[in-house]
Structure 1
């Protein structure tokens, strides 16, 4: 990984630690108290052993030390428990905030942005990558402070007793962080590649799972199994690479700390044998000093070893942070329209929802409108059109002409240039949440959520009663099906609308849309996935619901356009024809060619069904 990028990601990670609250400081405090209790415990134990063995004092002489030693044991356990709880809470708070920020960002960017990646990739970001930030905040950041304070405190205690032992500790301590740095150079890059492989595997598997019936229909099952096997193997190799690095670093850190403690033990051993006579300030090396220093030695290296172990958590967090930072700091092209007055640019402020008379209906006016992608590329435009209150306008055109992109701009999910006014006010000036409350959207892929029929229909108004829900279901021609179920309105709807046909799901989604009391209906191929019976039922309900409201419908079914007031024909992002169904049917152009193609397709389908 590029060093500048790694530094940038590390800085971004450190900026997020405020989400941990005071629990991060509490983790450090409990860690320091645990270290101090260890020093006191080593002092008491050394004092007792020196007095009993060397000074040959009676055990009763150290009653207070024994009591204090016994008291320290549960205190250490409680401090260790409190530290674990505090570090877990700090990591949990961080994960909750980051996950909430990711979901809020995805809501802000909208479905047009989300569809740019497979569902599995987003699942990997929201779940695995956020989870992998936990140890960085819960373990690594507190351990950096502890790795400085605890060894320093032990050195302050050891040097007045024996300067040689202090020098051995001081000289061998850097070996652990030095090796930690060497290992960490490749750890972040290995973790980043591992996350990339996981996102690829998740997206690949989820897409194939959703399209399983289609794959079986075209006999592509075996080929896709091989593709999933290849992606799984790549993920396995990446994971093993990360694990090898983690195990190698842990083993070498243990080796260095063991060697350092052994050197210290050899020094004291030879000092007791009389072969070494330095480091004791000419006062001799007592049993107390030797035991005290040797008991502190493992605790001196332990914070450094823990920091080395948790350095893997830093590498893991850096690997996870790359996509998270890119997503959370993603900035969409501003929709704001600027006017100039006296050489100064004036930016319009957001308009309160009450400033618009919604009861008069919705009027939309687009002038030189350009719909842009999130990357700034032009998807539609420049186009100009007008939708009067109560008017029904259809948008037709070949696939890829920009029909859905235009609807996404009106929903506030895509940036635009030019002018797009709602009741005389620029769309960018409106609060998007309030604006969407006045819309009813129905697409070709109905989005129902895990829950009951009641939950899905009442999303527009959670206080909606059962009778009102049944009335909406009746308008959508789906009440009979719901009442036939044993649980009625409590009939469960599973993931991916399990247990419902496409037509049934579309009509439940229609019932939900009808409950919004919308002033503008935005319809994106609402009958594309329906059979002829369901199509007629849905359209009949829509025409009744939209009798006195505005409507903008994208469709490829030209036989549905007789009741539309105006038809806009879009091709390559530009309006090439406009007018009523009768006018366009008589004129030469793209609309007539599309109608002829549709007639040929229907004739071919009828011929095949008859044969």
Structure 2
């Protein structure tokens, strides 16, 4: 990562501070107060030693000083705890805001855009990479201000007492941030490479996990196991590289801090032996000055050492911010919609005029399309894979932008609030999504439905066929994503959910794909019945039942090449007849 990119990411990270600005200011304030208490504590301690050893004052006369010293110890502990808690709150608030930004952007872009990357990559972005920013905001940022304030405050306390000790500290202080910056540049680059490797590893592992049955059937398990082992070995080596740089930075800081403290100690030692006669403004080096300087010298470097300890947090945050900032900057800005409402005074009519489906990044997915979907019409959409059928469904769902005109009851779809429009659409795809906890919740999805209507939908979708075999019936707790149900059973649940939704448009994307013959019959029979109650558009590769549909649309290379009834299209030369003949040859 070049230096300009690092600076750009650091500016972006600092811009996110406003999400936890109040807690960050509190953390810095507690740190400042703790530094002042520390100086007072050192002053009291040096004064006590001077009075006890040199002035030979009785201990009874120093009770107040002892109590004040004890109070300083307590105050420092309380302020340190308050600072840690404030930094923790700041980090949590900023990380929550960043996750919200990513989730909001993903929600606005929709699943058609999200599917371009493996789910494991999104999980890494939302969890590991944002999580790595915690210490940067909770500790590193507050420590940056303390690393300036605390040494300056200590110098102001030491210089009036002994200018030589103050000068030694002043001259050696810049060495620590200099070497810290040199080491940190390499650490940030190593962290960035580490995060990229982790994102690839997460995505590859999740994809292999989902395709484990296919890999087992084709005897690829051993080869994939070796590939995973190689990837994890590479990731382990990258992680150790990051840790090596972190330990190197700590060693450099400890060396220079120890060297400076040793020089201060040597100066006072030779001064007490009478070898040095400078630094005390001509009054002689006192025991008080020596103790004060030696007590505060480690504390002078401690904020810089802490900053060095937390410097790896800056490197981690920079590495994690690379992918996050790139996603937020390069992902397309969702289209803003006008504040409108969908007019449902008339049955639903969808009319497209030179409508061209676009990707979220602006690439055309289809040629200009012209069609009209009338109220209650049942249309089957056929075509070869890659013809653009699913892209058309995604436009109607509101997940992809378009150019041209797509009117819903005379209103442009892009001007309608997505949520308002999607309430009028029921959808059943090839891969059913069951996000809720129980079977009942997955069917209802927060709807209030009478029990007889629910049981009727379950019966029509064929859910009642396997419902008795579930331990708790409709209240059976499912695993994540519907684990515990077969693909066919999950598809039937999705169909029941679509049957219960009071929608005017039913969109079906090959709902029978991947099902056994019995499940497919149940699913298609229920959907055939449901399609008679609302406007329906179904993508299918099954041509044997198309005669029952009102119209058949044929897509080729992103274009609607034929529209009409099955009887009209099958009797004329064209794409539908070619598909039917090709399918007949495959069967025979």
Question: Which range, TM-score by smaller chain?
Answer: over 0.9
Q: Partner residue of 2:393? A: 407
Q: Distance in 1 between matches of 2:84 and 2:453?
A: 51
**Inter-partner Cα distance in structure 2 for 1:287 and 1:66:** 18
Alignment of 1:253-268 (within 5 A): 253-268=253-268
Unaligned stretches of 5+ residues in structure 1: 337-348, 604-611
Q: CA deviation at 1:331?
A: 4.9
2:405 alignment counterpart: 419
Aligned residue among 553, 564, 567 for 1:582: 567
In structure 2, what is the equivalent of residue 607 of structure 1? none
Task: Tell me the equivalent position of 1:369.
Answer: 355
CA drift of 1:523 comes to 0.9
Alignment of 1:147-296 (within 5 A): 147-296=147-296
**Which one of 336, 356, 366 corresponds to residue 343 of structure 2?**
356
Q: Is the Cα contact below 8 Å between 1:452 and 1:492 reproduced in 2? A: yes
Deviations 1:144-198 (A, max 9, x none): 1111111111111111111111111110000110011111222221111100000
Structure 1 position 441 matched with structure 2 position 441 = no
Mark the CA change 1:330 to 1:435 in structure 2 (over 3 Å): closer, same or farther: farther
* Partner SS state of residue 553, structure 1: strand
Residue 538 of structure 2 aligns to a residue whose secondary structure is: strand
1:592 aligns with 2:577: yes
Cα separation, 2, equivalents of 1:496 and 1:432: 24
- Residue in 2 that maps onto 1:120: 120
Q: Is the 8 A contact 2:381 2:554 kept in 1?
A: yes
* Contact 2:190/2:238 (8 A) holds in 1: yes
Task: Go from structure 1 to structure 2 and tell me whether the alpha carbon gap of 1:54 and 1:560 turns closer, same or farther (over 3 Å shift).
Answer: farther
The CA deviation at 1:204 is 0.6
Q: Deviations over 1:346-366 (max 9, x none)?
A: xxx62532x502x63221111
The aligned residue for residue 88 of structure 1 is 88
2:430–2:511 Cα contact (<8 Å) kept:
yes
Tell me the CA shift for residue 410 of structure 1: 1.6
User: Is the 1:449–1:494 Cα contact (8 Å) retained in structure 2?
Assistant: no
Contact 2:355–2:368 under 8 Å retained in 1: yes
Task: Identify the residue that residue 395 of structure 1 maps to in structure 2.
Answer: 381
Aligned equivalent of 1:429 = 415
Residue 459 (structure 1) shift: 0.9
CA–CA distance in structure 2, aligned partners of residues 334 and 117 of structure 1? 18
CA distance in 1, matches of 2:46, 2:159: 17
Is the contact between residue 346 and residue 409 of structure 2 (CA under 8 Å) also seen in structure 1?
no
Aligned to 1:558: 543
TM-score scaled by length of structure 1: 0.93
Distance in 2, Cα, partners of 1:300 & 1:372 = 60
Residue equivalent to 1:341: none
**SS at 1:378's partner residue?**
coil
* Separation of aligned partners in 2, 1:143 and 1:465: 60
Asked if 1:70 is matched to 2:58, the reply is no
**TM-aligned CA distance change 1:191 to 1:247, over 3 Å:** same
| Shift of residue 544, structure 1, vs aligned partner | 1.9
In the alignment, the residues of structure 1 paired with residue 255 and residue 436 of structure 2 have an alpha-carbon distance, to the nearest angstrom, of 53
Partner Cα separation in structure 1 for residue 572 and residue 410 of structure 2: 33
The equivalent residue for 1:342 is none
Name the counterpart of 1:514: 499
Q: Distance in 2 between matches of 1:187 and 1:156?
A: 34
**2:372 aligned partner:** 386
Alignment of 1:310-329 (within 5 A): 310-329=310-329
Q: Distance in 2 between matches of 1:402 and 1:77?
A: 66
Matched residue of 2:545: which SS? helix
Partners of 1:60 and 1:351 lie apart in 2 by 79
Q: Alignment partner of 2:553: what SS?
A: strand
Q: Shift of residue 126 of structure 1?
A: 0.8
The corresponding residue for 1:481 is: 466
CA deviation profile, 1:392-443 (whole Å, cap 9, x unmatched): 1222111111111111122121121111111111111000111111110110
Contact kept, 8 Å, 2:261 with 2:297, in 1: the verdict is: yes
CA distance in 2, matches of 1:335, 1:452: 35
How many Å separate the matches in 2 of 1:278 and 1:559?
A: 104
Offset at residue 373 of structure 1 (A): 1.6
User: Per-residue deviation at 1:330?
Assistant: 3.8
Could you tell me how far 1:9 is from its partner in structure 2?
Answer: 1.3
- TM-score of the superposed pair, with normalisation by structure 2: 0.97
CA-to-aligned-CA distance 1:239-259 (integer Å, 9 cap, x gap): 111111101001111111111
Structure 2 match to 1:340 = none
| Cα RMSD after superposing both structures | 1.6
2:410 and 2:334 map into 1 onto residues whose CA distance is 19
Which stretch shifts more, 561-570 or 287-296? Answer: 561-570
CA distance in 1, matches of 2:84, 2:161: 33
What CA distance in whole angstroms lies between the structure 1 residues aligned with 2:327 and 2:422? 24
Q: Residue 547 of structure 1: CA displacement?
A: 1.5
- Equivalent residue number for residue 343 of structure 1: none
Query: Does the 8 A contact of 2:108 with 2:334 survive in 1?
Result: no
1:11-63, CA deviations, whole angstroms, 9 ceiling, x for partnerless residues?
11111111114111111111111111111111111111110101111111110
Deviation larger for 45-54 or 325-334: 325-334
Which deviates more, 479-488 or 137-146?
A: 479-488
Deviation of 1:601 (Å) = 2.9
Residues in 1 aligned to 2:456 and 2:246: alpha-carbon distance in whole angstroms: 61
Partner of 1:495: 480
In the TM superposition, 1:465-480 aligns within 5 A as 467-480=452-465
Of the candidates 514, 523, 533, which is equivalent to residue 538 of structure 1? 523
d(CA) in 1 for partners of 2:335, 2:15: 29
Question: Could you tell me how far apart the structure 1 residues matched to 2:92 and 2:500 are?
Answer: 38
Distance 2:400 2:382 in 1: 20
TM-superposed deviation, 1:466: 5.0
